[in-house]
Amino acid sequence: MSIKDTKTWIQEWLDERSGLSSITKFLREKKIPQHKHSIWYYTGSAILLFFTIQVITGFVLVFYYSPTLEEANQSVGRIMTEVPFGWIIRSVHSWSASFMIAFVFVHLLSIWITKSYRRPREATWMSGVILLVFTLAFGFTGYLLPWDDLSLAATKVGTDIPRSIPVVGIWGTRFLRGGEDITGDTLTRFFGFHVSILPVLLFILLAVHIYLVQKHGMSLPLTARRKNERFVELPFWPNFVYREMVVWLILVGVLFSVAVFLPPSLEKAADLMAPAPEGIKPEWYFLFLFQTLKVFPAKILFITGDTIAILLILLAVIFLFFLPLIDNRPAERKGKIITFIAYVFIMYAVVMTVWSLI
């Protein structure tokens, strides 16, 4: 039997037992419209690419990492100095996290601005917002694991934030820390979140999200729909996937080059009793929130500034989650105000991030 015959035989054997051909048929018939906003269609699979890289590098890093107070920092040090290629794999893991989060933001903003969350895609959007929260949670929990001065300080600040929410906030802090203060229990808890709880939850929600995307197909931009334009439609497989592969190759190349030349360092082990080091700040994707908290005065009337800031942030997240229900106009209406709010949000985030770095 030739290679081709073998391939066909395997496919038929699998299909008879699994019904896989219905999926491949679907992927061949699925159409991707081509228009001037099509470029944003590539953000979804880019996120998946980086997530896959995180899973693979994460799997092997967990072979050497020790999630205890005494050994966490030293185990990361060992990965960086003793284990072959350890520093590269850690660097890829660290950079891929940043890339993934960046693309999640771009993905969200592109859907927002093109109003692709409108009926019938509201559930897709909502699952997406929860996925955003999970992704940021991954970043937050992962950042503590090396247990050095900076990550401890960032975690102290981060887990203190829920406390500002009246009544229930303190429980948030206790839940995250495993108590009132940060201890070895916090590290264990964050490790459990990072390698077990969050992956399972994210995986399930991702499956739902991707299923919904397939069910409703690619949304069309308003301009095309209003003018009733005829536009080119590409089959997902193989035409669009080949194009996605080009994007993946470039992204992998950039990721690896950056990881090799700008690897993260490791500070010495955190000391729970030492004063906070100077110049602590969270990872870049939290900087705008960090600055928001800093900007509010200590007290407004009789409420602490922090509380107001947190409540505003929570309000923003709730607004984001319910966006498709707030803007429930039919797809053809332009929604200029919503677009404006999106640009305001982008400006705010950029300005606050830059401000926090000065």
Partner 1 sequence: MVLCLASLVLKYGYALQITPQAKDQAVQAEKEKEPEKIMPSPKNIKESTAIYVFLVWMWVAVFVLIYILILKIKEVDRLHRIKFFSAKRE
Partner 2 sequence: MKLKHSLFTRRQFLNGLFGGWLTALLASFLYPIIKFIFPPTREPDQVILPFPDFKDMGPNSVRVFSWGAKPGLLKKNEDGTLRAFVGVCTHLDCNVTYLPGQRKFFCACHDGWYDENGRNIGGPPPKPLRQLIIVIEGEDLIIKREGVE
Residue 326, number of CB atoms within 10 A of its CB: 12
Q: Which of 27, 48, 62, 88 binds partner 2 (CB under 8 A)?
A: 88
Please give the helix or strand (H or E) that residue 235 lies within, else none: strand 233-235
Q: 287-291: which pairs have CB atoms within 8 A and are 24 or more residues apart?
A: 287/352, 287/353, 287/356, 287/357, 288/348, 288/349, 288/350, 288/352, 288/353, 288/356, 289/313, 289/352, 290/157, 290/356, 291/352, 291/353, 291/355, 291/356
What's the rounded Cα separation, in Å, for the pair 41 and 19?
28
Q: Binds 18, which of partner 2, partner 1, none (CB < 5 to 8 A, cut-off by type)?
A: none
**Contact flag: residue 27 with partner 2 (CB under 8 A):** no
What is the signed CA dihedral for 116, 127, 241, 1, rounded to 10 degrees? -150
How is residue 164 annotated by DSSP? G
Q: Which of 27, 56, 69, 247 binds partner 2 (CB under 8 A)?
A: 56
**Contact flag: residue 63 with partner 2 (CB under 8 A):** yes
Q: Is the dihedral of CA 55, 57, 62, 63 positive or negative?
A: positive
Q: Mark 251-270 with x for binding to partner 2 (rule: CB under 8 A) and - for no binding.
A: --------------------
**Contact flag: residue 48 with partner 2 (CB under 8 A):** no
**Neighbour-count burial of 3, counting CB atoms closer than 10 A to its CB (0-12 exposed, 13-18 middle, 19+ buried):** exposed
- Binding region for partner 1 (CB under 8 A): 28, 69-70, 77, 80-81, 87, 90-91, 234-235, 238-239, 242-243, 245-246, 249-250, 252-253, 256-257, 260, 263-269, 271-273
State which residue, 86 or 335, has the beta carbon closest to partner 2. Answer: 86
Span of 86-94, 111-119, 257-265, 268-276 interacting with partner 2 by CB under 8 A: 86-94
State which residue, 69 or 123, has the beta carbon closest to partner 1. Answer: 69
Q: What is the distance, to the nearest Å, from the Cα of residue 179 to the centroid of all Cα atoms in its chain? A: 27
What's the rounded Cα separation, in Å, for the pair 358 and 355?
5
Q: Which of 9, 13, 85, 211 binds partner 2 (CB under 8 A)?
A: 85
Distance of closest approach, residue 268 Cβ to partner 1, in angstroms: 6
Query: Which of helix, strand or coil describes residue 264?
Result: coil
Q: Binds 19, which of partner 1, partner 2, none (CB < 5 to 8 A, cut-off by type)?
A: none
State which residue, 16 or 70, has the beta carbon closest to partner 1. Answer: 70
Q: Binds 82, which of partner 1, partner 2, none (CB < 5 to 8 A, cut-off by type)?
A: partner 2
**Contact flag: residue 5 with partner 2 (CB under 8 A):** no
Q: Which residues lie near partner 2 (CB under 8 A)?
A: 56, 60, 63, 82-86, 88-89
